[in-house]
Amino acid sequence: MELEKNFALISDKDPKKLKLPKLKLLTAAQYKGSNLELIRDNLRVQEKKYNAKMTWAKYLPTISLQGRYTDADLNPLFASPNSSLNEQYFTYGFSISMPINLNMFSDTEVAKVAHLKSQAQVLDRKNAIDEEYTLVQRKIRVIDKKIQLAKKDEKLYKRLYRSTKDLEKVGEKTSFDTAMMHNSLQVRKLDQKIYYLDKQIELIGLYAKVANAS
């Protein structure tokens, strides 16, 4: 009842009428290549790299260039048709400023360390992803084996059920024996469904951590 209430908060569909998707095992490359946690960590590396560069650039020297063009009226006392004096000229100059901050080296080192830590975290994440995938892969192999064994048991109990039913007709078995064998057959069928759902639950754990899984 509680699950139905929670489902109603996110969807107006009847959960009993929904068909569950049949998930398949992703390849290791698909799981690692689209893993949301790894994508996030890689973006964090780029962020820390950018921050390290910006921190370093903040303490670099700054060069400023200046230029001025002057076009003034010549003093009438010096003005003559043959005068070489000219009040039109350019002036140029530049200045260099160097920011002085006692925290410069510590700031840049902190930014570098943060970048290196983010890179190390990506490596740790890749190892964790490989371990997660391998673990799920092993669990699914075990579940597949259980399903195959349950199918073999189902075939066996089908034969036993038919045999018991025939023996009941001739009086060598009771209806209780037949009912018990029928129940055992149904248990093997239910086992297969349970194992199938167990497999889907393991796969959902992978799909939930992957972008654009289909």
In this structure, is residue 48 part of a structural domain? yes
Distances from the Cα of 64 to the Cαs of 40, 67, 94, 98, in angstroms? 40, 10, 5, 11
Per the structure, the complete domain to which residue 54 belongs is given by: 21-58+108-207
Mean pLDDT by 10 residues, the chain (214 residues): 73 78 92 95 95 84 71 51 55 69 82 95 96 97 97 96 93 92 96 96 94 72
In this structure, is residue 163 part of a structural domain? yes
In this structure, is residue 15 part of a structural domain? no
In this structure, is residue 94 part of a structural domain? no
Give the pLDDT score at 120.
Answer: 97
In this structure, is residue 4 part of a structural domain? no
Number of domains comprising the chain: 1
What global pTM score does this model have?
0.72
Distance CA 53, CA 203 (A): 41
In this structure, is residue 189 part of a structural domain? yes
C-alpha torsion sign, points 145, 150, 155, 156: positive
Distances from the Cα of 123 to the Cαs of 38, 44, 104, in angstroms? 9, 13, 29
Distance CA 126, CA 35 (A): 10
In this structure, is residue 114 part of a structural domain? yes
Strand 62-71 versus strand 88-97 pairing type: antiparallel
Give the pLDDT score at 78.
Answer: 45
In this structure, is residue 99 part of a structural domain? no
Are 137 and 57 in contact by the 8 Å Cβ rule? The answer is: no
User: 71: helix, coil or strand?
Assistant: strand
